[in-house]
Amino acid sequence: MRVVFLQPAYPPEMIEYTRGLKEVGAQVFGVGDTPREALPAKVRPYLDDYLQVPRILDEDDVMDRVSAWMRGKTIDRVLANWEPLVILAARLRERWGVPGMSVDTVRGFRDKQLMKERVQAAGLRVPRSRRVTTESETRAAAEEIGYPLILKPIAGAGSADTYKVTSKSELDAILPKMRGVPEASCEEYIEGEEFTYDTVCIDGKPAYENVAAYLPKPIEMRSIEWISPVIITVRDMKQPKLQGGLALGRGVLSALGMGDGFTHMEWYLTPKGEAVFGEIGCRPGGAHIVDQMNYTNDIDLFREWARVSCFKKFEAKSERKYNVGIVFKRAQGQGRVTRIEGLGDWLRACGESVVEEKLLRPGTPRRNWKQTLLSDGHVIVRHPEWEEAHRMSFHAATGIKMYAE
Ligand SMILES: Nc1ncnc2c1ncn2[C@@H]1O[C@H](COP(=O)(O)OP(=O)(O)OP(=O)(O)O)[C@@H](O)[C@H]1O
Ligand SMILES: [Mg+2]
């Protein structure tokens, strides 16, 4: 089994997928723009060979270079788990006739408007929306959709350039900020709670499923600095409240023609109990959600993803043991982290339930919280009871304080 894996070392969690591929017995050919000599020592043993390209996002250039590199060799899979590379992987598969999702199928997971059209065509509930490219189109779409509405890039990530707009005058203020965005989606604002629906699929059927609750919803996590974002995986997926979302998620996978691998979907649960589609990617979620799922079941999804992608087999047990909460912290102030308060108390109070503590240490420069949900580090805590996992997560959110002053 010979696998070309796009970017084995960036983002850093890709090292784990590279490990997974090696552990299930694949020969791994990594392609990335990390210089060969800068590849972390951890990833090297998992790579059979590596091609450094000058610009990983320059698709045509990468295609030519990889084709020259692989000339005369047979390749069984071309895989990528980072959103900006999923189309490139599909283009390489098509060029070489390698099995896996086509470019057209992957576009349904990458283009937010197209995905909504395809999901809606299958009779599933999506926010009403319009694709807009100019200010006048945006104004016309806003008239039609009404307020509140959401304006966001078609190829967005990390809630960048995403705005809730509640009136025409707010729209006037926001339009100039969207000038750098070539194509946007103007859509009905969906009130309610927000969840993920994550899977590892074989031929579009989930071999593994997960739901996690966003507390609060991502647009608030990304726009209010003092918030410590909390995400908790839900152990009990049989509860009635989630059934609409699970049915929606499974429907979306078949509507979009999912093949093998990870998916990460976001959905809303309205106050009336309706599940509404948000968005989906044919790749894992970021911000450590795969670690959270691993802690939820005590499994290794990095390796199971590799097994599914290479051999269409999923071998881990799917028993859900814990609700797993991750809490991202943001230091008050600018520059370098200077001190952390309340950590010792929290660690003592939660004891065995704490599975990770990775807050940035004093002396470390703060991360840009607008650019990365990872913020200034995180803690992970787990418990079989939802209330306890929730309580300990919010204890970390309010009780641990970081400063950069
Ligand atoms: N139609 C909508 N109604 C209500 N909230 C929305 C809507 N669209 C987006 N949002 C809010 O904005 C957030 C970001 O939007 P979306 O997930 O589409 O973009 P994104 O930039 O790809 O996000 P990320 O990469 O953080 O998952 C959502 O998680 C949600 O909180
Ligand atoms: Mg999103």
Domain-located, residue 110? no
Confidence band for 180, pLDDT divided at 50, 70 and 90? confident
CB atoms within 10 A of CB 338: 14
Residue written as token pair 């100019």: 134
Q: Are residues 184 and 226 in the same domain?
A: no
The torsion angles phi and psi of 157, rounded to 5 degrees, stand at -160, 150
Tokens 């929730």 belong to 390
Tell the residue number behind the tokens 């020969």, with chain if given. 27
- pLDDT, tens digit, for every residue of 118-144? 999 999 999 999 999 999 999 999 999
User: What is the domain count for the chain?
Assistant: 4
Q: Do both 203 and 277 map to the same domain?
A: yes
Residue 236 and residue 139 in one domain:
no
Q: How far apart are CA 386 and CA 159, in angstroms?
A: 27
d(CA 343, CA 349): 10
Residue 293 has pLDDT above 70, yes or no: yes
The ligand minimizing its distance to the Cα of 190 is: 1
Q: Which of 162, 215, 263, 283 to mutate to test the pocket of ligand 1 (most atoms within 8 A of CB)?
A: 162
Ligand of minimum distance to the alpha carbon of 222 = 1
Residues having CB closer than 6 A to ligand 1 are 127, 150, 152, 156-160, 162, 187-190, 194, 217-219, 266, 278-279
Residue 160 confidence (pLDDT): 77
**Which CATH number goes with the domain that contains 79?**
3.40.50.20
How much distance in Å is there from the Cα of 319 to the middle of ligand 2? 27
229 falls within a domain = yes
Amino acid at 179: R
**How many Å apart are CA 78 and CA 86, to the nearest integer?**
10
Residues 30 and 2: beta-carbon distance below 8 Å: no
The answer to whether residues 276 and 254 belong to one domain is yes
Residues 195 and 304 in one domain: yes
Structural domain includes residue 116: no
Task: List pLDDT tens digits, range 206-235.
Answer: 999 999 999 999 999 988 999 999 999 999
Q: Tell which one of 113, 119, 159, 267 to mutate to probe ligand 1, the residue whose CB is within 8 A of the most ligand atoms.
A: 159
343-350 and 386-399 are packed helices; what angle lies between their axes, rounded to 10 degrees? 170
Order across the sheet with 149-153: list the strands. 129-132, 184-188, 149-153, 163-165
Residue 58 CB neighbour total at 10 angstroms: 14
Task: Report how far residue 126's alpha carbon sits from residue 116's, in angstroms, rounded to the nearest whole number.
Answer: 6
What phi and psi values does residue 119 have, to the nearest 5 degrees? -70, -40
* φ/ψ of residue 293, rounded to 5: -65, -40
CA of 260 to the centre of ligand 2 (A): 21
In sign, the C-alpha dihedral spanning 74, 72, 89, 11 is positive
User: Cis link prior to 11 (omega < 30° from 0)?
Assistant: yes
Relative to the CA of 187, which ligand 1 atom is closest? 1
Q: Whose CA is nearest to atom 26 of ligand 1?
A: 158
Residue to mutate, 115, 181, 198, 279, ligand 1, most ligand atoms under 8 Å from C-beta: 279
| Residue-averaged pLDDT of the chain | 96
- Alpha carbon distance 46, 68 (integer Å): 22
> Can you give the length of the chain in residues?
405
pLDDT, position 179: 87
**What is the predicted pLDDT for the residue at 303?**
98
Q: How far is the CA of 30 from the centre of ligand 2 (A)?
A: 27
Q: In what order do the strands lie in the sheet with 2-6?
A: 49-52, 27-32, 2-6, 77-80
pLDDT in tens, 32-90: 999 999 999 999 999 999 999 999 999 999 999 999 999 999 999 999 999 999 999 99
Nearest ligand for residue 217 CA: 1
% of the chain surpassing 90 pLDDT: 93
Say whether both 317 and 329 belong to one domain.
no
> Which of the four pLDDT bands, split at 50, 70 and 90, describes residue 148?
very high
Identify the pLDDT of residue 75.
97
Nearest ligand, CA of residue 185?
A: 1
Distance 340 CA to ligand 1 centre (A): 31
Last residue of a domain, one of 100, 116, 138: 100
Is the confidence at residue 157, as pLDDT, over 80?
no
Ligand closest to Cα of 372 equals 1
C-alpha dist (Å) from residue 46 to 12, 231, 382? 14, 31, 30
Asked if 162 and 92 sit in the same domain, the reply is no
201 and 279 co-located in one domain: yes
Q: How far apart are CA 33 and CA 10, in angstroms?
A: 9
* Same-domain status, 298 and 342: no
Q: Tell me the pLDDT tens digit for each residue of 86-103.
A: 999 999 999 999 999 999
Which ligand 1 atom is nearest residue 129's CA? 1
CA 285 – CA 239 distance, rounded (Å): 23
CATH of residue 275's domain is 3.30.470.20
Residue from 112, 128, 150 whose mutation best tests the ligand 1 pocket (most atoms within 8 A of CB): 150
pLDDT in tens, 238-258: 999 999 999 999 999 999 999
Instruction: Give the Cα separation of 402 and 145 in Å (integer).
Output: 42
**Which residues have CB under 8 Å from 186's CB, separation 6+?**
129, 130, 132, 138, 141, 142, 145, 149, 150, 151
**Closest ligand to 219 CA?**
1
What's the pTM?
0.95
Residue 374 has pLDDT above 80, yes or no: yes
Find the domain containing 383 and state its range.
323-405
Q: How many CA atoms lie within 13 A of 142 on its CB side?
A: 25
User: What is the whole-number distance in angstroms between the Cα of residue 273 and the centre of ligand 1?
Assistant: 19
218 alpha carbon to ligand 1 midpoint, in Å? 7
Residue 361 confidence (pLDDT) above 70: yes
pLDDT of residue 150 exceeding 80:
yes
- The 3-state DSSP class for residue 48 equals coil
| Ligand 1 pocket: which of 83, 152, 181, 195 to mutate (most atoms within 8 A of CB) | 152
Distance 349 CA to ligand 2 centre (A): 33
What pLDDT, on the 0 to 100 scale, is given for residue 158? 66
In whole angstroms, give the CA distance from residue 290 to residue 288.
5
Question: What's the one-letter identity of residue 372?
Answer: T
Helices (H), 286-352: 289-297, 301-311, 343-350
Structure tokens at 182: 């070539």
Ligand 2 centroid distance, CA of 281 (Å):
9
367-385: string of b/e by CB count within 10 Å (b at 16+)? bebeeebbbbbbbbbbbee
Residues 280-297 have a mean pLDDT of 97
For residue 105, is it within any domain? no
